[in-house]
Chains A and B, each alone.
Chain A
Amino acid sequence: MVAINPPTPQPAAKPAPAHSQRIVVDRRSSPQIADTPTVFDCENVEVYYGAFRAVRGVSLAIHAHQITAFIGPSGCGKTTVLRSLNRMHDVIPGARVAGRVSYHGIDLYAPEVSATEVRRRIGMVFQKPNPFPKSIYDNIAFGPRVNGIRDKARLDAIVEKSLRAAALWDEVKDRLKHSALGMSGGQQQRLCIARTIAVEPEVVLMDEPCSALDPIATARIEELMRELKSRFTIVIVTHNMQQAARVSDRTAFFTTELDSRNDRRTGTLVEYDVTSKIFSAPSDERTENYITGRFG
């Protein structure tokens, strides 16, 4: 690579309207999209809360070792779809997933599949940092202990490795026995990421992981996501289009529309493509309107 970023050749697409603000895609994160194998295959996924259909018609494939971003206005079902990928809806009474979510070809919702096993392989980081009211060490060691690791030396090694991977080790190595609740919000969220990767999942789902953080903490988490991409497949829900443009390889745009069956708004997938395409030449007018700030 040359030291100076060469100007990227402009595609000969139709010129952007004068009032629209194009979001510049950071090409360092995705020089080009490798066609890695798919991890998830969603086919016509629908999620119900009781009788209410929250999301309908979601079909997309999530690729290994890439960052896939779900964007869209509030209530469009991006978090709902994310939670259907590791069966987090099981714990909400009345929630139900229809359609097919397959993980390496296996139907996640098949009766013989254990939700506990699914969640061990597919971890999740939540919107609000939610460390356990335990020590920093015990937070990280929680998952490995649940999975049967008792050996102190092994646990120590896992804790250090996970904290290093989450770029937190140097900040907390002298107070591992202190409560995790005494950390700052950004540190807590990185702790939650460290806790998630301590069980060596294959996929890390992130539900608006930066929405409670300031820009500096956000930048650190985004940096972290780029680093973790080589080890994990990451799916991130974000309200922040710039964030999706900065970190993701592929972007799915969701929106809400009126459900003809009951006159309530329901979420649906509009467009799913390579991030640079979504932000430069979306094929759907609704995507175009959203990313140029005309609604949402």
Chain B
Amino acid sequence: MTTAPGFQESTATRRRNDLRARPSWRTVKNHGMTGLMAAAVVAVAIPLVAVLWSVIERGAAVAFRGFPDFFTATIPVVSRLPGPGMGPAILGTLLVTGGATVIAVPVGILGAVYLHEYGGNNQLARLVRFMATVMTGVPSVVMGLFVYLIWTLTFGYSAFGGALALACLMLPVVIGATEQMLKLVPSQLREAAYALGTTKSRTILTVVLPAALPGIVSGALLAIARAAGETAPLLFAVGAAHAYNRHLFSEANTALSVQIFANANSSFTAAQDRAWAAALTLVLLTFVVTLVARMFTARLALKR
């Protein structure tokens, strides 16, 4: 580029036309913050990966030796002896967690619908919301004791007692997650339905709940996953068993979490190995349930 004779390009002009990045406190801060975020991601990932790795490393050998024996055989009564079996605990976990889901998810969703769509900010809704918040803070042992008092003392050990205790733990989580999701449904959708002559209840069933469904499923899954790993309340309500018990309402049962607790406390290596394998089984079970639920919601989603 030629400069007209006598024209001197000033320093200010040159600076203005130089668009290359200059090192400044701003860019340093920017890089620093990005680095901090990356570090946070790593910090979060380390315990996750470590837990997963140790469970797989120590549990896989026992869990998959002579597949599928470990997942079907009964639990050895003499825990000192090596050998498979967590079948009854898998069935127990499915019964207890499934029962809890059947109780807590519908009640929780309906409760949240009341709170958000009908109650709004009235006295009852505020009270229920407050109690739900308090309930999230109640330790699971206390829920176990509560169910022990109101159910187990009268009817004895059963998978259903455990389901009741877990349902109490899941309920506030489901209510909270569902209410948040209902809040995210735009009021324009409700208005559109009303303007077509739709009643309120029908609007909720056919417009609001379907729109909030993916979020509600996520919330319910979180609650189920948390409940599936609960041990303390089951010790009170479910009892202990080594054989299959497919009855929901009678006789002591067992669950994976209970077996992990019992076997990990044992001084015998064989029992400890079984605890690791049971832990791996629980992780896999949660994984499969999450996957199935996700596939179910994805199928409901529409093509754009």
Contacts and interface: CB of A to CB of B under 8 A. Distances in A.
Given A116-B198, A123-B196, A133-B210, A128 B304 contact: no
Contacts of A143: 196-198
B294 interface: no
A178 B211 CA distance: 16
A88 B197 CA distance: 11
Interface stretch (B160-168, B187-195, B215-223, B256-264): B187-195
A196 B195 contact: yes
A146 B195 CA distance: 12
A178 B197 contact: no
A199 B196 contact: yes
A91 interface: yes
Contacts of B189: 130, 132-133
A119 B302 contact: no
A213 B197 CA distance: 26
A143 to B, nearest CB: 4
Contacts, number: 79
Interface residues of B, number: 22
Contacts of B207: 132
Contact of B302 (A93, A118, A134): A134
B194 to A, nearest CB: 6
Nearest to B302: A179
A146 B303 contact: no
Interface residues of A, number: 33
A192 B192 contact: yes
A126 interface: yes
Interface of A: 86, 88, 91, 93, 116-121, 123-124, 126, 128, 130-135, 142-143, 146-147, 177-179, 181-182, 192, 195-196, 199
Interface of B: 120, 186, 188-199, 202, 206-207, 210-211, 302-304
20 contacts: A88-B191, A91-B191, A119-B194, A124-B195, A126-B195, A130-B188, A130-B189, A131-B192, A132-B193, A133-B189, A133-B211, A134-B210, A143-B196, A143-B198, A146-B197, A146-B202, A147-B197, A177-B302, A178-B304, A179-B302
